[in-house]
Amino acid sequence: MPDQTIKCPHCGKEIPLTETLSLQIKESLWKEVEEKTKEKELELSGREKLLEEKKKQVEDSEKTIDQQVADKLKTAREKLKQEARKEAESAILVELKDLKEQIADKEQKIEKFQNNELEFRKKMRELEEQKKNVDLEVERKIDERRKDIEQKSIEMFTDQHRLKDLEKERSEIDKKIELFLKEIK
């Protein structure tokens, strides 16, 4: 190996390297490299542990976030269900109220129709009674007129008969007068 020299860092003098010194330096460098490698490995191991911890934290955070999202979704679903239930109940209440109003309206109309029917039937009975009364009154008047007519007919017949009798008598008197006049003449 050619003579190798190194410079002293303190004084700046060049020092020749021999095999022993070179071996010492190599060993020293090797130890240094090994120590630095171990340090780097420890540092890398520490970083790996840190990364594993961070990975675990991230996974835990993801699980927590997933759980929070699931909880929020569950809460939101429950809230939506309750709102939908309230809206449905409200719609049903409105429809029920409308149906009750329709039923009340129809019952009112039925009652009105029943009252009208009762009034109509009452008026029909009254009209029938009035008709019966009128018929009875007409019959009475007819009977009365018949009696009047009969009475008048009897009177007329009697008068006619009397007139005939009177005429007959007159005729007899006329005859007697005529006879008498004839006798007198």
Q: How far apart are CA 60 and CA 54, in angstroms?
A: 9
Rounded to 10 degrees, the C-alpha dihedral 6/10/13/18 comes to: -30
| Cα 162 to Cα 159, 169, 177, distances in angstroms | 5, 10, 21
pLDDT in tens, 128-157: 998 889 888 888 989 998 888 888 888 888
pLDDT in tens, 69-109: 999 999 999 999 999 999 999 999 999 999 999 999 999 99
CA atoms within 13 A on the CB side of 43: 6
Q: Which two tokens stand for residue 138?
A: 């007409």
Return the DSSP state at 184.
H
Cα 55 to the chain's mean position, in Å?
Answer: 56
Query: CA quadruple 90, 93, 98, 101: dihedral positive or negative?
Result: negative
Q: Give the residue ranges of DSSP H helices in the chain.
A: 19-184
- The structure's pTM equals 0.36
Q: What pLDDT, on a 0 to 100 scale, did the predictor assign at position 100?
A: 94
Q: Between these two residues, 7 and 72, which has the higher pLDDT value? A: 72
